[in-house]
Structure 1
């Protein structure tokens, strides 16, 4: 099982993305909201619990949705990946529809709002991602990973963005401006990990994680893990 770990104070050890050898994959984002309920249930276990449960992705999200009101805002993608049975990918956001949905094959974008909410940075990120995917057949795997990491590190602010400003209206304007790029760089807060997961038709998984060291934007370590799905 490969996961990323949250290092924000008070949330250490929570996981926002992970994949298991059994083909279970999950990803979590927070939902930008003006006020955080400090007594709400912790979101950090939502990914880990799916990776270790026997429940399928839709059943798990259905269970989570029944308790959705107990958490601060979040989005959760859960997937069962199988080279024999086909992939099933589902989505639930506790600030959106009450029921989880099945996702058809395609390209989606998820930031700190609901799935495919057309924030400018999300639209821009999907455009950059799509351009990389179009040339993926002509790229060596290592080069494809690097191109995707380059997308994740794009710092071009996509402003003005009324939709982002409206959702974060009680945040300070200059902070929202910092949030308007794919890669966030603020004092004491920002992007510190990039993760790229590639899965080929035979079920070979390449999990690449680029992580900031010592909270220094000039120090990064890249780790790659490879394994085959057991499904």
Structure 2
């Protein structure tokens, strides 16, 4: 379970601002953010499935994935964490890649995928849910968006709060991004029970209904174990900051680099 809030093509300083929480069992083997062996991909790594929840590349590509909240899952499904990596490694355009994923989407459990290529100023949303409908491929419009475990911009309580809080903080022009992270992504307020989607048990949904999650389960502690703040400037400078749990302590890493041959421009609203 993850939740991400992002600003796409409407901020005067950054064509992309992203805040993302990764929720997972604390005992699941995970590698914190870093440059992968190829030297082209930056992100964390799930050491069970081998994929990632979010990563970006020197070429100006970014991708993140969230699970869809649903009752039944396919035990032999392909790992959803491969989807961001495949996009970052691909030479296909975002649309070509999205079409490829759509053709094989039934091989995955429910997913929401955001892919963006800053070199062509294009962001797409891809999902294989609802099951009874064809896969979704939509261009993401300029603005503030939130993606959790429903569809993009679904009116789930924590998604609505996060979106509204992000808009409010963006209006405070002096607010520093590192302060925004804590105000936005450490919110532990839970939703009213009547507003939950009622897909899983009430206890699970209530525990998952805050932006920052932490609760005990029979399989161990579950909750937010990574928070990413990503900005991409019009000059191609990328700042990737991750706060992550390691041995029950929060640590922090920051990476800065420039997109190769960056040519980033404002995109007109559609």
TM-score > 0.5 by shorter chain: yes
Q: 1:94 aligns with which of 128, 144, 152?
A: 128
* Higher relative contact order (Cα pairs below 8 Å, separated by 6+ residues): 2
Counterpart of 2:236 in structure 1 is 203
TM-score when scaled to structure 2?
A: 0.75
1:145 aligned to 2:178? yes
Matches within 5 A, 1:137-216: 137-139=173-175, 143-165=176-198, 168=199, 171-187=200-216, 188-214=221-247, 216=248
Separation in 2 of the partners of 1:41 and 1:56? 22
CA spacing shift, 1:161–1:21, aligned 2, 3 Å: farther
Corresponding residue pairs, total = 214
Separation in 2 of the partners of 1:177 and 1:53? 38
Unpaired runs of 5+ residues, structure 2, are: 1-40, 263-270
Q: Do 2:230 and 2:239's aligned partners in 1 also have CA atoms closer than 8 Å?
A: yes
Counterpart of 2:250 in structure 1 is 220
Runs in 1 of length 4+ with deviation above 6 angstroms? none
Deviation at 1:160, TM superposition (A): 2.6
| Higher helix content, 1 or 2 | 1
Deviation at 1:114, TM superposition (A): 0.8
Unpaired runs of 5+ residues, structure 1, are: none
Q: Do 1:129 and 1:148's aligned partners in 2 also have CA atoms closer than 8 Å?
A: no
1:2 aligned to 2:42? yes
TM-score when scaled to structure 1?
A: 0.87
Separation in 1 of the partners of 2:197 and 2:46? 24
Q: Do 1:149 and 1:194's aligned partners in 2 also have CA atoms closer than 8 Å?
A: no
| Higher strand content, 1 or 2 | 2
